[in-house]
Amino acid sequence: MAVNLKGRNFVSFKDFSTEEVWQSIKTAEELKLAHYRGDDRPLLAGKTLAMVFQKPSLRTRVSFESGMSRLGGHAIYLSPNDIKLGQRETTEDIAIVLSRYVDIIMARVFGHDIVVDLAKYSGCPVINGLSDLEHPCQVMADLLTIYEKKRRLEGINFVYIGDGNNMAHSLMYGGALTGMNVTICGPEGYEPNSDVLEESRKFAAQTGAKIEATSDLSQAASDADVIYTDVWASMGQEDEAAARKKIFMPYQVNANVMKLAKNDATVLHCLPAHYGEEIDYDTTRLPNSAVFDQAENRLHAQNAIMVLLAGKQ
């Protein structure tokens, strides 16, 4: 291993250096190739993962649980009713107790402060499976997917079209750390967090990346290597869905948007997709669409993170 991440947390992309992000991508690539050769190694044998969920998810639960199984470990699913974070018991006490039972904690939560507190008080590595501020596991899978398709990240023109949400935040951090130019494009009033934008630009100054936020779709999508979108109303924003649909409809990813991008532009969506809203069905089925490769890569990217943080090295 080029770097030693044993015992570390992955709460935010800010937790990793450029070298450590690349170590994760390369490890994911190795584990994926090994799996396709039928050579899954028990790198997490005897290890147990606690999966703490406030928000339900298909991809997060199945990819982590399947990943632990393939690598010889065991995963325990803890539903919102099993652990009422901060209600029945403090997050501090939960972190201390859980980390005496298991070797890794993954948490998919609402408030980012929850996963920060879990990491602060846990005696074992904590992985952010999603919070309202960031979604680093998804973006590690996204970087792996882009690297597979383009064989580079540095200098790639990446355009995210939609809400300036947790996906946008982790994409800015991830792009900045790897030298990928990231443009976040959405309607005025739905820009990414200004502090995240500023921090990302500081990282980008070290790698040569450009991090931008704009409401000009035509300008943003022009010459894009990657077009990415996400749902317009995230979990917990259901009451805003109807209003957001009207505001965001001009930012739908469709054939007109793809005409602005490069001919071989890769289409990405972190799923689940609301066809006819943020993206149309036909665009997700284009030859250059990698949405299902991207979904699969959640498994491989997370396996790499778990192996690096808690595996046998």
Domain assignment of residue 180, yes or no:
yes
* Both structure tokens of 145: 């997917």
Check if the beta carbon of residue 149 is closer than 8 Å to that of residue 266: yes
pLDDT in tens, 38-97: 999 999 999 999 999 998 888 999 999 999 999 999 999 999 888 877 778 899 999 999
- Of 270, 294, 300, 302, which one is the catalytic site residue? 270
Q: Is 135 a catalytic residue?
A: yes
* Residue 232 pLDDT class (50, 70, 90 cuts): very high
Angle at 165 between CA 164 and CA 167, to 5 degrees: 110
77 and 183 housed in the same domain: no
125 and 183 housed in the same domain: no
| Range in 27-31, 79-83, 90-94, 276-280 the model is least confident about | 79-83
120 and 235 housed in the same domain: no
What is the pLDDT at residue 253? Answer: 98
What is the pLDDT at residue 80? Answer: 87
**CATH code for the domain in which residue 119 is found:** 3.40.50.1370
267 and 155 housed in the same domain: yes
241 and 104 housed in the same domain: no
Residue carrying structure tokens 């982590």: 64
Q: Is 54 a catalytic residue?
A: no
Q: Is 124 a catalytic residue?
A: no
Q: Is 201 a catalytic residue?
A: no
Domain assignment of residue 1, yes or no:
no
| Range in 69-73, 77-81, 150-154, 228-232 the model is least confident about | 77-81
What is the pLDDT at residue 23? Answer: 97
Identify the H or E element spanning 24.
helix 18-36
Q: Is 8 a catalytic residue?
A: no
Number of domains in the chain: 2
- Of 23, 54, 138, 252, which one is the catalytic site residue? 138
For 116, how many CA atoms within 13 A lie in the half-sphere containing its CB? 10
pLDDT in tens, 133-142: 999 999 999 9
Domain assignment of residue 88, yes or no:
yes
Domain assignment of residue 25, yes or no:
yes
Residues 6+ apart with CB under 8 A from 89: 83
148 and 286 housed in the same domain: yes
Percent of the chain residues past pLDDT 70, beyond the cut? 98
Q: What average pLDDT does this structure show over 199-207?
A: 98
Residues of the domain holding 47: 13-135+298-310
- Of 169, 244, 269, 298, which one is the catalytic site residue? 298
117 and 183 housed in the same domain: no
User: pTM of the entire structure?
Assistant: 0.96
Query: What is residue 10's DSSP assignment?
Result: B
22 and 101 housed in the same domain: yes
| Range in 81-90, 206-215, 271-280 the model is least confident about | 81-90
Domain assignment of residue 2, yes or no:
no
147 and 124 housed in the same domain: no
Domain assignment of residue 190, yes or no:
yes
Q: What average pLDDT does this structure show over 145-156?
A: 98
Instruction: Decide if pLDDT at 1 tops 70.
Output: no
145 and 130 housed in the same domain: no
* Residue 2 pLDDT class (50, 70, 90 cuts): low
18 and 64 housed in the same domain: yes
249 and 184 housed in the same domain: yes
- Of 8, 59, 70, 108, which one is the catalytic site residue? 108
Domain assignment of residue 8, yes or no:
no
More confident residue, 233 or 38: 38
Q: Is 270 a catalytic residue?
A: yes
What is the pLDDT at residue 235? Answer: 67
Kindly write down the DSSP assignment for every residue of 190-230, as one continuous string: -PPPHHHHHHHHHHHHHHT--EEEES-HHHHHTT-SEEEE-
Closest CA to 188 of 163, 165, 212: 163
Instruction: Decide if pLDDT at 313 tops 70.
Output: no
Domain assignment of residue 60, yes or no:
yes
Angle at 190 between CA 186 and CA 191, to 5 degrees: 75
